[in-house]
Structure 1
Amino acid sequence: MRSNPTGRQLRLGAELRKLRERAGLTSTQASQLLGVQQNQISNVEAGRAGVSPDRVRTLACNYDCGDEALVEALSSMVSERTRGWWEEYRQLLPAALLDLAELEHHARRLRTSVTVHIPGLFQTTEYAREIFRQAVPALPPPDIEHRVSFRVKRQAILFRDSPAPQQVIIHEAALRMRFGGSDVTRNQLRYLLEMSDRERVTIQVVPFATGTFAGSGQSVYYVEGPVPQLDTVNLDQSHGPVFLEAESQLDKYRVTLDRLEAAALSPEESQGFIHDILKDL
């Protein structure tokens, strides 16, 4: 029995619960169909107990789920269990940060929009350190370094043999904010330009001249799963990541990012725009 299930384990349980509820079954009825105790269904749905891929398929069959892509995606969430590098930070950082790294590891595509800072996966070490130095309440120096090293290790997904595509939309304000001073900002913009040349990375800029635009009040990190039902939105709050998984929320942020992408400069125009800002520093 797990005492502290991960975000991925919780999500699997939550999706199985949704399937059961859509079938109009109680946990007791589901347990009778499966031939197990009712508390076993409850523990699986709460992420406290593991479940095999075959049992996931059996549950889906009992729940009359005909979405084969979803069933296989849920089964893979069991069969792809790994003890990732993020586990070494289990006692050092909030669990939500580890859940974010695990989400990224399994993502099919990543979409980001930011207004006042460079996205975490594209931050230099010096830039990230300055961000963490401004935390309220102030972080002790060792905690700052743990967070910096964790952020740098997250960036390894950009350099895998077949990395997930990354779409990044950055407002001009984020490019002009001088976190850590001019030298840190110059290095950060140079690194951003370097990353924009990578095959699976698309970076677009929303200039001040655009005026109002969708999603202007917050940064959005959209993590695409193997099927749309398993997508996740991460909103970066001062107290840590907040994960949204409801279908209405996912639909809202898909539309927001689509509209924002349409309002932004093209990737080629964005590169030139960043070059011009770099010249001004």
Structure 2
Amino acid sequence: MPPRSQPSERHRRLGAELRKLRLSAGLSGDQAAALIDADRGRVSNIEAGRVDVPRNGLHKLLRAYGCTEGPLFEGLMAMAQDRGKGWWDEYRGVLGQPALDLAELEAGATRVRMHESSAVPGMLQTADYARAMCTMAADEVTDEPIDRGVEFRLARQRIIERSPGTPYHAVIHEGALHTLVGSADIMRGQLRRLIEVARLPHVTVQVFPFSAGGFSAYSRPFALFGGPTRELDTVRLEQPLGSVLLHDHQYVDRYSAIFTKLTELALPPVDPETRPESHEGRDSLTLIHHLMYAMQ
């Protein structure tokens, strides 16, 4: 099979982890190739995510690299065995590879922590809100791409709607809830959706209020995806020209600390089991209710 021209994020991540382990073990590409009866070029392609490595070959490499059986070993073996086929494949050729990578990353995450400063996270959007967002982002307003984009965004939500759902924690800046997307009716429906989805036992929604200062703006939008082990966690940063994925421990630890700080500064989480008027202090639920009733 010829090398892939567009490796998925899963393929690239597996290759990057193997390269990191090989270098840490002090082995050359030629030495690694000898372990699996291949040439150096194949090892380079494996580490670039362009070709797969057979289960037996991966087992030999991990052993030689000093990666003993445990969470990381099992996590890498699972990544290699995963054929990468999922519901997102039907959007191949319609949406770009970054969107497909995001869906696969979400589907395999053990938990998701999200900070959004300018819009409601896609995982929590209503169909109307998603359509308004896709329309604003479209270069040309044509029904089919927008329809497919909305469909794709809603399909991503299955990771929190299924049972058991993936633990999901969102910290959303108050400014995102003030921003009129589409119409007042769409915004009221979207705010109602935030309260409804917070009823799920594995979903936590917090609002970062204006009164908490500028830390949210400093941190910028990002998401943390938990892997089967800490070494396989991923940070996703939103950039004007696309997203950036970070894997190094220093970045994961840094953004984990930032997220913890955001949760401390944000209002207490939405608790839909209690009525907002019964709350003694200000919290995310009372703020969302206030905005929902004040929306013109």
1:189 aligned partner, one-letter code: L
The percent of aligned pairs where both chains have the same amino acid is: 39
Equivalent residue runs for 1:39-78 within 5 Å: 39-66=41-68, 68-78=70-80
User: After TM superposition, what 4+ stretches of structure 1 lie above 6 angstroms from structure 2?
Assistant: none
Alpha-carbon distance between aligned partners in 1 of 2:179 and 2:197, rounded to the nearest angstrom: 19
Query: In the alignment, which of 204, 222, 225 is matched to residue 224 of structure 2?
Result: 222
1:162 aligned partner, one-letter code: P
2:214 aligned partner, one-letter code: T
Q: Deviations over 1:74-105 (max 9, x none)?
A: 00112232410111111011101000000000
Equivalent residue runs for 1:111-190 within 5 Å: 111-135=113-137, 137-138=139-140, 140-190=142-192
1:139/1:28 CA distance change after superposition, 3 Å: farther
Q: Deviations over 1:201-260 (max 9, x none)?
A: 001111111113256352111111111111111122343332122222212111110111
Equivalent residue runs for 1:240-279 within 5 Å: 240-267=242-269, 268=271, 269-279=283-293
Pairwise CA distance, 1:139: 5.1
Report how many residues are paired: 281
Alpha-carbon distance between aligned partners in 2 of 1:41 and 1:82, rounded to the nearest angstrom: 21
**Any conservation in 2 of the 1:97–1:241 contact (CA below 8 Å)?**
no
**Structure 1 counterpart SS, 2:154:** helix
The corresponding residue for 1:100 is: 102
The corresponding residue for 1:199 is: 201
Pairwise CA distance, 1:176: 1.2
Pairwise CA distance, 1:138: 4.0
2:286 aligned partner, one-letter code: G
1:13/1:250 CA distance change after superposition, 3 Å: same
Q: Taking structure 2 as the reference length, what is the TM-score of the superposition?
A: 0.90
Alpha-carbon distance between aligned partners in 2 of 1:138 and 1:240, rounded to the nearest angstrom: 18
**Any conservation in 2 of the 1:235–1:241 contact (CA below 8 Å)?**
yes
Alpha-carbon distance between aligned partners in 1 of 2:196 and 2:183, rounded to the nearest angstrom: 20
Root mean square deviation of aligned Cα: 1.7
